[in-house]
Structure 1
Amino acid sequence: MKAWRVNELGEPRDVLRFEEVVDPTAGPGQLLVKVLAAPANFPDVLLCRGEYQIKPPLPFTPGVELCGEVVAVGAGVTRFEVGDRVVGNPELPAGAFAELTVMAEENAYPAPSSLDDAEASALSIGYQTSWFALHRRTQIKPGETLLVHAAAGGVGSTAVQLGKAAGATVIGVVGGQEKADYCRQLGADLVIDRRSEDFVEVVNEFTNGRGVDVVYDPVGGDAYMKSTKCIAFEGRILVIGFAGGTIPTPGLNHALIKNYSIIGLHWGLYKRYNQQAIYDCHAELTRMADAGEIKPLISERLSFDDVAEGLAKLGEGKSIGRMVFHP
């Protein structure tokens, strides 16, 4: 089979190679899956650079989520059969950017019938992250105001949709007119282009000086620091990641004086401590997708030939929305 592989660490455009490799096999508790669609995620960029918290041995195939068809099952598998369409997370170092890959049974979930392959492939990491952030780490309420940074990105776009579905007023912060247009398609009530506007000023004017109840921050750096200037009384700042490259150093005295909470989310830890919570979340996301409450908005559907260039665009901040590759 063919697979994209990283033989040395670096920028995706420089280190990814489309190579012929031996077909994988399903071991005990595993599924062998034919990849139908695999989205680009920022962790894939970090994996290529060697900057992700998981560091698979070289050579490896990136691609942290997929939609696929089960073609074989290993001993002990009970939840899936050959022919089932599944979504979820493959077993690194054999990631999703390959014709075939292997998934642990516990990391696979039934693909919603209401979504096509590309849409379904984007339902696990981003939507699960935002659902846990908004509904478990903080309990967002109807009528509250949610500020989403990188609102046209992979996880930010899911936060916009889930925030709207929860009855919140959603403000999206993006960089550039194309991303602003995409964010409006997602349903954001207000979209701020950080390249031409100071989001703190716009937010405070929009909320009559009250500020926002919840900040969803996958960026870090200045995005976090400025968010502390427009957080409401008893507000919550969700720390999702540091795509901007700078890890902020919060002033805890400021959190005390303004009476807001700083809440971290590491979605992957639920796989270790509470797998059932992930199953329950997927069931709820499937219900929402079937009811038309959420729908992954795929901005680009590309061939597997475009994986290296697509990940490079994502790493350079030039991509818009969800980019999905099809073998």
Structure 2
Amino acid sequence: MRAVIGRQFGGIDDLSLEDVPSPTLEAGTVRISVRAAGVSFANLLFIAGQHQNRPSLPFIPGTEVAGTVTEIAPDAATTLRIGDRVCAGLPSGGFAEEAIVDAANVFKIPDSLSFAGATLFPTIYATAFAGLAWRANLKPGETLLVHGAAGASGLAAVEIGRALGARVIATAGGERKTAVAADYGAHHVIDYKRDDFRKSVLEITDGRGADVVFDPVGGDVFDNSLRCIAPLGRLLPIGFASGRIPQIPANIILVKNLTVIGLYWGFYMAWGKSKADAVLRAKVKTLFEELFALHEAGKLRAPVDRTLPLPQFADALRRVERREVIGKIVLAPTDRE
């Protein structure tokens, strides 16, 4: 099979497209013919060896795939069947024509959902839902502030927040991106390139601030979010696309009675563990059922910027690196160029 291979940690130019042996089916797993593989900022950290999920060498990037089931291990506890259309989350191995995935992390997708759109569910929508509904306990009528609202994670948070009944304030850079955030349901949109989002949030909320902040950016954005979050607010640091991991001043947390909530989705998918917690597995299964129901109801649109063939993986990664992507950019491994 063809796969994108990294034989050392570094940058995009350190990757190559190679013909390699198909991966071996292991106990409790299924084989997927990969029709679509999501590309994300986390892939850049993974390639550099800077992600919390650090692989051994050599490695294949990619944590979110969609395709068809072609083989199932005899001991796999699953209702999946050969030929099922599925999406899956995996710690690595997605940028390839085939992937071997723990059966518990493979989910049958609705017929209405394209393979490309399905790549947003295993980590992007799942993280947004788990963060906002499970961890932050976002309630109807509360104010949610979403940063990076034109990227895949941000747009997912906008849609999930709206579906949970929150008033959504979104920040994005430039007219094109702010227009997209508004189109996907944000009640208020702030162009951070033009306006001071801290000041704007306080004006929109009559000085109170946001109840929940969803932050995939980090850096100065995180720092300023602490200045426009409401008392008893909850702040979710989802990622650090700015490149700087912020330090949290405990005095602000104390004075405003804030809760800073961590969320690593790989914990719920049992990445890096030999055996997953059965209660968490059941909870994750229910989460995906809820997400697919929201999609069927038209509340999750699964925005795909474009789909590129696997040999153009470097172009896809560079588009993410330059922050040009609206929603998700996807590779199509089994569509040969």
TM-score, normalised with respect to structure 2: 0.92
Q: CA deviation at 1:15?
A: 1.4
Q: CA deviation at 1:27?
A: 2.1
Mapping 1:195-214, distance limit 5 Å: 195-214=193-212
Q: Does 1:244 align with 2:266?
A: no
Q: What secondary structure sits across from 2:261 in the alignment?
A: strand
**Greater shift in the superposed pair: 245-254 or 133-142:** 245-254
Q: Does 1:294 align with 2:300?
A: yes
Q: Corresponding residue for 1:172?
A: 170
Q: What secondary structure sits across from 1:124 in the alignment?
A: helix
Give the distance between the partners of 1:112 and 1:124, measured in 2 at CA: 14
Deviation by residue 1:198-240 (Cα, 9 ceiling, x = unmatched): 1011111111212111111111111111011111122111121
Count of equivalent residues:
324
Give the distance between the partners of 1:58 and 1:27, measured in 2 at CA: 19
Give the distance between the partners of 2:3 and 2:232, measured in 1 at CA: 49
Give the distance between the partners of 2:44 and 2:177, measured in 1 at CA: 20
Contact kept? 2:68, 2:85, Cα under 8 Å: yes
Q: What secondary structure sits across from 2:248 in the alignment?
A: coil
Q: Does 1:279 align with 2:285?
A: yes
Q: Does 1:15 align with 2:21?
A: no
Q: Corresponding residue for 1:77?
A: 76
TM-score, normalised with respect to structure 1: 0.95
Q: CA deviation at 1:85?
A: 1.2
Q: Corresponding residue for 2:311?
A: 305
Contact kept? 1:43, 1:64, Cα under 8 Å: no
Which amino acid in the other structure matches residue 29 of structure 1?
G
Q: What secondary structure sits across from 2:199 in the alignment?
A: helix
Give the distance between the partners of 2:91 and 2:11, measured in 1 at CA: 22
Q: CA deviation at 1:104?
A: 1.2
Contact kept? 1:178, 1:320, Cα under 8 Å: no
Deviation by residue 1:119-169 (Cα, 9 ceiling, x = unmatched): 112111011111111111111111111100111112111100000111111
Contact kept? 1:27, 1:75, Cα under 8 Å: no
For structure 1, the 5+ residue unaligned runs are: none
Which amino acid in the other structure matches residue 196 of structure 2?
D
Contact kept? 1:214, 1:235, Cα under 8 Å: yes
Contact kept? 1:38, 1:121, Cα under 8 Å: yes
Give the distance between the partners of 1:212 and 1:261, measured in 2 at CA: 13
Give the distance between the partners of 2:91 and 2:24, measured in 1 at CA: 12
> How many percent of aligned residue pairs carry the same amino acid?
39
Q: CA deviation at 1:47?
A: 1.2
Q: Corresponding residue for 1:140?
A: 138
Contact kept? 2:178, 2:189, Cα under 8 Å: yes
Q: Corresponding residue for 1:87?
A: 87
Deviation by residue 1:253-276 (Cα, 9 ceiling, x = unmatched): 112212222111122212345222
Q: Corresponding residue for 1:2?
A: 2
Q: Does 1:149 align with 2:155?
A: no
Q: CA deviation at 1:186?
A: 1.4
Q: What secondary structure sits across from 2:160 in the alignment?
A: helix
Contact kept? 1:46, 1:52, Cα under 8 Å: yes
Contact kept? 1:182, 1:321, Cα under 8 Å: no
Which amino acid in the other structure matches residue 242 of structure 1?
F
Q: Corresponding residue for 1:110?
A: 108
**RMSD value, Cα:** 1.5
Q: CA deviation at 1:91?
A: 5.6
Contact kept? 2:89, 2:105, Cα under 8 Å: yes
**Greater shift in the superposed pair: 156-165 or 27-36:** 27-36
Mapping 1:125-136, distance limit 5 Å: 125-136=123-134
**Alignment counterpart, residue 257 of structure 2, candidates 239, 242, 259:** 259
Q: CA deviation at 1:50?
A: 0.9
Which amino acid in the other structure matches residue 35 of structure 2?
L
Give the distance between the partners of 2:260 and 2:23, measured in 1 at CA: 43
Deviation by residue 1:269-312 (Cα, 9 ceiling, x = unmatched): 12345222211111111111122221211121222222111112
Which amino acid in the other structure matches residue 131 of structure 2?
A
For structure 2, the 5+ residue unaligned runs are: 271-276
Q: Corresponding residue for 1:24?
A: 23
